[in-house]
Amino acid sequence: MADDAREILTWNDFGTASRELATKVVLSGFETDVVVAIARGGLLLAGSVAYALGVKSCGAVNAEFYTGVGTRLPEPVMMPPLLDEASIVGKKVLLVDDVSDSGRTLAMVVQLLELGGAEVRTVCLYSKPGTVLEPTYTWRKTDRWIDFPWSELPPVTPEEAAA
Protein backbone atom coordinates (compact mmCIF):
# COMPACT_ATOMS: atom_id res chain seq x y z
CA MET A 1 0.00 0.00 0.00
CA ALA A 2 1.37 3.43 -0.94
CA ASP A 3 2.17 5.98 1.74
CA ASP A 4 0.54 9.26 0.67
CA ALA A 5 2.86 11.18 3.02
CA ARG A 6 5.94 10.05 1.07
CA GLU A 7 7.30 10.55 -2.41
CA ILE A 8 8.89 7.29 -3.60
CA LEU A 9 11.74 7.52 -6.12
CA THR A 10 12.55 4.22 -7.83
CA TRP A 11 15.79 3.38 -9.59
CA ASN A 12 13.94 3.53 -12.92
CA ASP A 13 12.57 6.99 -12.06
CA PHE A 14 16.09 8.03 -11.10
CA GLY A 15 17.42 7.06 -14.52
CA THR A 16 14.62 8.93 -16.26
CA ALA A 17 15.07 11.99 -14.04
CA SER A 18 18.83 12.10 -14.64
CA ARG A 19 18.40 12.10 -18.39
CA GLU A 20 15.58 14.67 -18.28
CA LEU A 21 17.63 17.00 -16.07
CA ALA A 22 20.65 16.72 -18.39
CA THR A 23 18.36 17.55 -21.31
CA LYS A 24 17.14 20.68 -19.48
CA VAL A 25 20.74 21.79 -18.95
CA VAL A 26 21.61 21.29 -22.63
CA LEU A 27 18.47 23.06 -23.84
CA SER A 28 19.26 26.04 -21.59
CA GLY A 29 22.60 26.53 -23.33
CA PHE A 30 24.66 26.22 -20.12
CA GLU A 31 27.95 24.56 -21.12
CA THR A 32 29.09 22.82 -17.96
CA ASP A 33 32.83 22.68 -17.21
CA VAL A 34 32.58 20.96 -13.82
CA VAL A 35 29.87 18.98 -12.05
CA VAL A 36 29.97 19.35 -8.26
CA ALA A 37 27.88 17.16 -5.96
CA ILE A 38 26.68 18.08 -2.51
CA ALA A 39 27.55 14.91 -0.62
CA ARG A 40 26.00 12.59 0.12
CA GLY A 41 22.58 13.10 -1.43
CA GLY A 42 23.84 14.64 -4.65
CA LEU A 43 26.61 12.14 -5.39
CA LEU A 44 24.66 9.61 -7.45
CA LEU A 45 22.71 12.25 -9.38
CA ALA A 46 25.88 14.25 -10.07
CA GLY A 47 27.60 11.21 -11.56
CA SER A 48 24.59 10.31 -13.64
CA VAL A 49 24.09 13.85 -14.96
CA ALA A 50 27.83 14.22 -15.64
CA TYR A 51 27.76 11.06 -17.78
CA ALA A 52 24.64 12.27 -19.60
CA LEU A 53 26.34 15.61 -20.32
CA GLY A 54 29.67 14.05 -21.27
CA VAL A 55 31.44 16.02 -18.50
CA LYS A 56 34.44 14.24 -16.98
CA SER A 57 35.45 16.90 -14.47
CA CYS A 58 33.59 16.16 -11.23
CA GLY A 59 33.97 17.09 -7.60
CA ALA A 60 32.07 17.13 -4.33
CA VAL A 61 31.53 19.27 -1.31
CA ASN A 62 30.55 17.81 2.02
CA ALA A 63 27.76 19.60 3.81
CA GLU A 64 25.51 18.47 6.62
CA PHE A 65 22.14 19.83 7.60
CA TYR A 66 19.72 16.91 8.10
CA THR A 67 20.57 14.54 10.92
CA GLY A 68 17.52 12.29 10.45
CA VAL A 69 13.95 12.25 9.18
CA GLY A 70 12.68 15.75 9.90
CA THR A 71 15.60 16.65 12.18
CA ARG A 72 18.37 19.06 11.28
CA LEU A 73 21.13 21.23 12.61
CA PRO A 74 20.43 24.94 13.26
CA GLU A 75 22.48 25.84 10.14
CA PRO A 76 24.11 23.79 7.38
CA VAL A 77 27.83 23.24 7.91
CA MET A 78 30.72 22.36 5.60
CA MET A 79 32.73 19.27 6.48
CA PRO A 80 36.11 18.01 5.28
CA PRO A 81 37.42 17.20 2.81
CA LEU A 82 36.84 20.59 1.22
CA LEU A 83 36.69 21.33 -2.50
CA ASP A 84 39.87 22.69 -4.09
CA GLU A 85 38.64 26.23 -4.74
CA ALA A 86 41.43 27.00 -7.23
CA SER A 87 39.99 24.33 -9.53
CA ILE A 88 36.72 26.23 -10.05
CA VAL A 89 37.93 29.77 -10.73
CA GLY A 90 36.35 30.96 -13.98
CA LYS A 91 34.53 27.64 -14.48
CA LYS A 92 30.88 26.99 -15.26
CA VAL A 93 29.84 24.75 -12.37
CA LEU A 94 26.73 22.60 -12.26
CA LEU A 95 25.98 22.09 -8.55
CA VAL A 96 23.91 18.97 -7.87
CA ASP A 97 21.89 17.82 -4.86
CA ASP A 98 19.02 15.42 -4.34
CA VAL A 99 16.50 17.93 -2.94
CA SER A 100 16.20 21.63 -2.19
CA ASP A 101 14.09 21.33 0.95
CA SER A 102 14.80 24.46 2.96
CA GLY A 103 17.34 25.41 0.27
CA ARG A 104 19.77 26.63 2.90
CA THR A 105 22.48 24.07 2.12
CA LEU A 106 22.16 24.73 -1.61
CA ALA A 107 22.32 28.51 -1.04
CA MET A 108 25.37 28.17 1.21
CA VAL A 109 27.29 26.10 -1.36
CA VAL A 110 26.27 28.35 -4.26
CA GLN A 111 27.64 31.34 -2.34
CA LEU A 112 30.87 29.46 -1.57
CA LEU A 113 31.37 28.53 -5.25
CA GLU A 114 30.53 32.01 -6.53
CA LEU A 115 32.92 33.60 -4.02
CA GLY A 116 35.51 31.17 -5.41
CA GLY A 117 35.02 32.63 -8.89
CA ALA A 118 32.65 30.11 -10.48
CA GLU A 119 29.50 30.68 -12.53
CA VAL A 120 26.96 28.35 -10.90
CA ARG A 121 23.74 26.67 -11.97
CA THR A 122 21.92 24.23 -9.69
CA VAL A 123 20.23 20.87 -10.32
CA CYS A 124 18.00 18.94 -7.91
CA LEU A 125 15.73 15.98 -8.35
CA TYR A 126 13.17 17.68 -6.12
CA SER A 127 12.37 21.07 -4.70
CA LYS A 128 9.95 21.80 -1.90
CA PRO A 129 7.57 24.74 -1.50
CA GLY A 130 9.48 26.45 1.34
CA THR A 131 12.90 26.47 -0.31
CA VAL A 132 14.88 29.72 -0.12
CA LEU A 133 16.67 28.77 -3.35
CA GLU A 134 14.71 27.33 -6.24
CA PRO A 135 17.15 25.19 -8.27
CA THR A 136 17.89 26.28 -11.82
CA TYR A 137 16.82 22.82 -13.01
CA THR A 138 14.36 20.62 -11.08
CA TRP A 139 12.78 17.31 -12.01
CA ARG A 140 9.78 17.46 -9.65
CA LYS A 141 8.27 19.55 -6.88
CA THR A 142 6.80 17.96 -3.76
CA ASP A 143 5.85 18.83 -0.21
CA ARG A 144 6.25 15.21 0.95
CA TRP A 145 9.16 13.38 2.56
CA ILE A 146 11.14 11.61 -0.18
CA ASP A 147 12.30 8.00 -0.05
CA PHE A 148 15.38 7.66 -2.27
CA PRO A 149 16.36 4.17 -3.44
CA TRP A 150 19.91 4.55 -2.11
CA SER A 151 18.87 5.50 1.42
CA GLU A 152 15.66 3.59 2.05
CA LEU A 153 17.45 0.80 3.95
CA PRO A 154 19.47 1.38 7.14
CA PRO A 155 23.28 1.07 7.03
CA VAL A 156 24.67 -2.45 6.99
CA THR A 157 25.73 -3.57 10.45
CA PRO A 158 28.57 -5.98 11.21
CA GLU A 159 25.98 -8.50 12.46
CA GLU A 160 23.99 -8.26 9.24
CA ALA A 161 27.14 -8.54 7.14
CA ALA A 162 28.23 -11.69 9.00
CA ALA A 163 24.85 -13.40 8.61
* Per-residue pLDDT at 63: 83
Rounded to an integer, what distance in angstroms lies between the CA atom of residue 16 and that of residue 25?
Answer: 14
Does 67 have pLDDT greater than 60? no
Nearest to 107 by CA among 139, 140, 130, 82: 130
Does 2 have pLDDT greater than 60? no
* Per-residue pLDDT at 70: 61
Cis status of the peptide bond prior to 121, with omega within 30 of 0: no
The pLDDT tens digits for 103-120 are 989 999 999 899 999 999
Residue 33 DSSP one-character state: S
Q: What average pLDDT does the chain have? A: 90
Return the higher-pLDDT residue of 139 and 87.
139
**pTM over cut 0.75:** yes
